[in-house]
Amino acid sequence: MTFAFHRLHPRFAAEASPLDLRCVHDDETLERIREGMDEHAVLVFRDQAFSSEEQLDFATRLDGDLHRKTGISVLQESRFGDEALTDVSNVDADGELLEADSRKRQYGLANRLWHTDASFQDPRGRYSMLAALALPPVAADTEFADMRAAYDTLEDETKAGLEGLRVHHSIAYSRVTLGFEFSEEESDRLKGAVQPLVLNNPRTGRRSLYLASHASRILDRPVPDGRLLLRDLMEHATRPELVYRHTWRSGDFVIWDNRATMHRARAFDDTRHRREMRRVTTLDTGDPARIAQPV
């Protein structure tokens, strides 16, 4: 099956030709999508109509193992019956809008911080796939930052100084910075993971900064110096020229590479307007055998 990608930003992000992903099972088309991810890092597919099971099946076909140790799972069970399907919505189990002081809503507000899905887990997240089911009548956009371009535009001396640095990522850390409180039991289940500050994509050889609001400290630097460096790199990586802002349409299905991007949700009045989305994230466990490697 042949299809093309239309770039949405000068550096990255592209919209794919019309294609019903539920019907994509052949290796050739799946590999073409992976190649598109290698090049663009964010792909937009319009007019998708996944059921929960179909979304999980497609994610597995495309990229293998799924992320099931989500942070929200320490607060409540998935209303979809599978922890791999993350509820990125402002409604409760009955489909009603969350109250302003709802613990789930307070937890989800951290999605407005720049972050990288599953960076707090080992193995970390690779592709995230977000389906738009119900959208508000106001703008509720998502922004993406190109972390490959962020690395490329650093001074050579700065790049050299980042080599070998390790960063602790914790989803609890990002929430606590906004005043969210975890119980002792919840905190014990959210210990986090250590990740390199610079990643190398084995499919392409491209290097990228690996940052997130979950990044609590650089293990190889004193805490004040390390946190200031992380802050400086965040500011560098999220300059307007490196950011693509996606305006959602009903039926949009957006895939992004967490090794090459950060993202954040933009604010809207979520106590008045309903928005329902489902996300699946795969794990960076090494390319499955069926995925072709670059020569």
Residue 288 lies in a domain: no
Model pLDDT, residue 73: 56
Model pLDDT, residue 74: 53
What percent of the chain shows pLDDT beyond 70? 93
Please, are residues 259 and 103 in contact by the beta-carbon 8 Å criterion?
no
Residue 3 lies in a domain: no
pLDDT tens digit sequence for 115-161:
999 999 999 999 999 999 999 999 999 999 999 999 999 999 999 99
Compute the average pLDDT of residues 179-202.
89
Residue 28 lies in a domain: yes
Residue 4 lies in a domain: no
Amino acid at 153: T
Model pLDDT, residue 185: 83
Model pLDDT, residue 189: 81
* pLDDT band at 79; cut points 50, 70, 90: low
- Mean pLDDT, the chain, whole residue set: 92
Model pLDDT, residue 49: 96
Burial 238-257 (b: 16+ CB within 10 A, else e): beeebbbebebeeebbbbbb
Instruction: State the helix-helix crossing angle for 27-40 and 52-63, rounded to 10 degrees.
Output: 80
71 pLDDT above the threshold of 70: no
83/172 Cα distance (integer angstroms): 18
Residue 31 lies in a domain: yes
Residue of 8, 69, 13, 76 lying closest to 41 (CA atoms): 13
Lowest mean pLDDT among 19-33, 233-247, 281-295: 281-295
Model pLDDT, residue 190: 83
186 pLDDT above the threshold of 90: no
Compute the average pLDDT of residues 49-70.
93
Residue 241 lies in a domain: yes
- Side-chain half-sphere exposure of 1, counting CA atoms within 13 A: 17
Q: Which residue has the higher pLDDT, 28 or 187?
A: 28
Residue 214 lies in a domain: yes
With H, G, I as helix, E, B as strand and everything else as coil, classify residue 239.
Answer: coil
Q: Which domain holds residue 68?
A: 10-282
Model pLDDT, residue 100: 94
Compute the average pLDDT of residues 46-70.
94
293 pLDDT above the threshold of 50: no
With H, G, I as helix, E, B as strand and everything else as coil, classify residue 159.
Answer: helix
What percent of the chain shows pLDDT beyond 90? 83
204 pLDDT above the threshold of 70: yes
Residue 289 lies in a domain: no
83 pLDDT above the threshold of 90: no
216 vs 50, 77, 110, 203, CA distance in Å? Answer: 36, 26, 14, 28
Which CATH number is 139's domain given?
3.60.130.10
Amino acid at 285: T
Model pLDDT, residue 115: 97
Which residue blocks in the chain are alpha helix, DSSP H? 27-40, 52-63, 103-108, 147-152, 156-162, 171-176, 184-188, 223-237
- pTM of the predicted structure, to 2 decimals: 0.93
Number of folded domains in the chain? 1
